[in-house]
Amino acid sequence: MASASPRHVVFLLVFCAVAVCRAQPPRQRLPVESYSYVSFQRGDPSVSSLLFRGDAGINNGALQVTPDSRNLNNFLSNKSGSVLLPHPFALWRRLDGAGERPAASGNGTTGGDQGQRVTVVSFNSTFSMNVFYDNESRPGEGLTFVVAPSTDGPPPGSHGGFLGLTNATMEASPAMNRFVAVEFDTFRQPGGYDPDDNHVGLDIGTVVSNKTAPLAGLNITIATNGTAPANYTVWIEYNGAARRIAVYMGIRGKPKPASPVLASPLDLSKHVPEQAYLGFTASTGVSFELNCILDWSLTIETFPADKKSKGWVVLVAVVVPVAAIAVAAAAFFLARMLRARRSMDRRRQERLEHTLTNLPGMPKEFAYEKLRKATKNFDDRLRLGRGGYGMVYKGVLPADDGRPEATTEVAVKMFTRDDAKCVDDFVKEVDIINRLRHRNIVPLIGWCYKKGQLLLVYEYMPNGSLDQHLFRRGVHEQRPVLSWESRYAIVADVAAGLHYVHHEYGPMVLHRDIKASNVLLDASFRARLGDFGLARVLDLDRNSFTDLGVAGTRGYIAPEYSVGHKATRQTDVFAFGVLVLEVVTGRYALLGDPACPLLSDWVWRMHGRGALLGAVDQSLGTDGFDAGDATRLLLLGLACSNPNPGDRPTMLEVLQILSRSAPPPEVPQFKPSFVWPPEGGAHYDLIDIDAITSGSLAGASSAASARATQDTASGGFPPPTAPNSADDYFPALSSGR
């Protein structure tokens, strides 16, 4: 064989050197981080650190990726939310061919142009989910496990088929949307890209799935109802070396199936940023469902710290003065806080605008500066009152055409609590009061939201609230005594307003905080019912509302409500009865007398002695009232405040008595004993049980939970023991506003 030329020898040596360099021994596997959530409890710091965006929250030990309130359907429909782990993960890394790189059997490294390689991590995500809907409705829309590019949360308009991932604008340019999601879709979209309303899909930058897998043939139904409830466990396994994803799904509590429901090639380095977030998104549309995550565990490979960067950090720490570092750090954190605050305000503004825009007959939106000028920068001298929500100020709005004689006097209600609960109270009050149109309901004029400040604008009532005229304390001491004719008319006006919200307006509204300070008087001393901050609107098929705590004001709360936490028309009638007694007697509902703490007890004692008219307000004098009408009102007040709800009159009967078309009610001489459970037993619907056993906030805090997320529903609700005396009602009550 001919000897090799020098050129061939050199070529052979270079080839061997490159081969040796390429044949480096494999290094250790990448380190692995693990996260585990057996359940999601509010007080758990690891749960509190999760990033909740849009309409997501925590309830009943589960992540509620979309709302779970059941008492108002419009708070369930057209919602979107997301829950993400609080820090990003390095999912892939590009390395120079000449430099050091982690090489392992558990992660993938691919070659590229100009000697670049990309390493992609592997991860396993396992979670259990509960997707629940009403028997009489259809589910919608779906839930996803997402690899997200940022913590911005669901974009505006991402409800319905957009699954909290995109909106109509973003769908026009999928390549710009740097996310990957595994969708669990329960609603077939009219565009034809969904195979059915029960499938798993792989979404890359768009909700039009790259690959789908129908589940009907596998005996899996994502959305279930009370007829056949089921929770499912999902295993998502991503192999960074093979660039492949596999999704397994089965009944919760059973082993992982042998075969995946969906498997597909997937190179995350081509579709998501190097640093990305992991978590869940969900949405509802006109059809809605509860999208709950019951537990979650995640294991994921992580890249070791870059050694070359450590020397740079040390060098900077030595060279840069300590003072400069402190200033830079303070500026950084201040900027982060301001940016986070602006982002939170923007999302809250978008949520409020979306909610209020969809209200029927949307109230007018006022500019903040206009209301600030109208109230003279919220001058304390113009303050009309205050409560647990905040304060109310008098304002004067200029006419749109600038005419000075056409100004409008308004009452501006300022919500001073800056939290999500305050926003919920604001939206609920607007939603309720904006529906009501009655001469005895204080009309809502408009609203305002700017930089975290929530404001409601009501028609101004020149004569203030009823309590200022009845009790005449402090600055109101010089007010004249309220005449008997005005008192009788005020009672009739409040009764008409309460009858409207109970029986005339559909669906029914429970006020839950009827008291003298919430009755406002216009220029003609006509009474109007106000402050619907604790009110609740009930579905047409319901007649009660149950929550964890007790809403209202002590002295006006019916005994069965304090025991069973179930508000009904009868509990509003009880508060109305106490109000009637206050109007006639001029005394507070709570007398401050340990021997007789309740006004109704004192009036009942006068009735038992045959001296009922002795309870009439002495400031009226002996000739300042009509004895027959006074007897009528006192007996009506006692009948309405009867301890037992079945013995109270309805508001229709109340109107007949006040119009004198029916005789005064027959009232026993001595106050009846409170009987628990009420006559016929204490009945609680499944939804009531869920409401009480859920993690909803107490008192006026939030609507009841829609459904339990446990595998089986609760078996029953054992009511608390009834109190033995009026004193025992009070310790568990939350004070009113």
Question: Binding site: what residues are annotated?
Answer: 413
CA 142 – CA 186 distance, rounded (Å): 5
Nearest one of 646, 668, 657 to 570, comparing CA atoms: 646
Task: Give 172's contacts (C-beta < 8 A, 6+ positions apart).
Answer: none
What is the sign, positive or negative, of the torsion defined by CA atoms of 219, 221, 226, 230?
positive
Q: At what angle do helices 569-585 and 484-499 cross, to 10 degrees?
A: 170
- φ and ψ at residue 46, rounded to 5 degrees: -65, -30
444: helix, strand or coil = strand
CA 432 – CA 441 distance, rounded (Å): 11
Q: Strand 123-132 vs strand 116-120: parallel, antiparallel, or unpaired?
A: unpaired
CA 208 – CA 222 distance, rounded (Å): 19
CA 617 – CA 634 distance, rounded (Å): 11
Q: Name the amino acid, one letter, at 293.
A: I
Write down the catalytic residue from 197, 513, 629, 690: 513
Quote the tokens at residue 461.
């009532």
Quote the tokens at residue 253.
């509590």
CB environment 361-374: b (16+ within 10 A), e (fewer): eebeebeeeebbeb
Number of H helices, E strands in the chain: 14, 32
Instruction: List Cα–Cα distances, 172 to 145, 207, 282, in angstroms.
Output: 22, 11, 20
Alpha-helical (H) ranges within 504-598 are: 559-564, 569-585
Residues annotated in a binding site for ATP: 413
Structure-token match 């402050």, residue found: 531
CA 146 – CA 597 distance, rounded (Å): 58
Catalytic, 513? Answer: yes
284 with 78: CB under 8 angstroms? Answer: yes
122 with 238: CB under 8 angstroms? Answer: yes
CA 557 – CA 495 distance, rounded (Å): 17
Q: Strand 364-365 vs strand 444-450: parallel, antiparallel, or unpaired?
A: parallel
Nearest one of 240, 247, 235 to 298, comparing CA atoms: 235
456 with 413: CB under 8 angstroms? Answer: yes
CA 237 – CA 267 distance, rounded (Å): 13
CA 415 – CA 371 distance, rounded (Å): 14
Quote the tokens at residue 571.
């509990």
70 with 707: CB under 8 angstroms? Answer: yes
Secondary structure of 299-320 as H, E, C letters: EEECCCCCHHHHHHHHHHHHHC
736 with 552: CB under 8 angstroms? Answer: yes
160 with 282: CB under 8 angstroms? Answer: no
CB atoms within 10 A of CB 608: 13
499 with 562: CB under 8 angstroms? Answer: no
CA 595 – CA 592 distance, rounded (Å): 9
**HSE of 244, CA atoms in CB hemisphere, 13 A:** 8
What is the sign, positive or negative, of the torsion defined by CA atoms of 457, 462, 468, 470?
negative
Quote the tokens at residue 609.
């002695």
User: What positions carry a catalytic annotation?
Assistant: 513
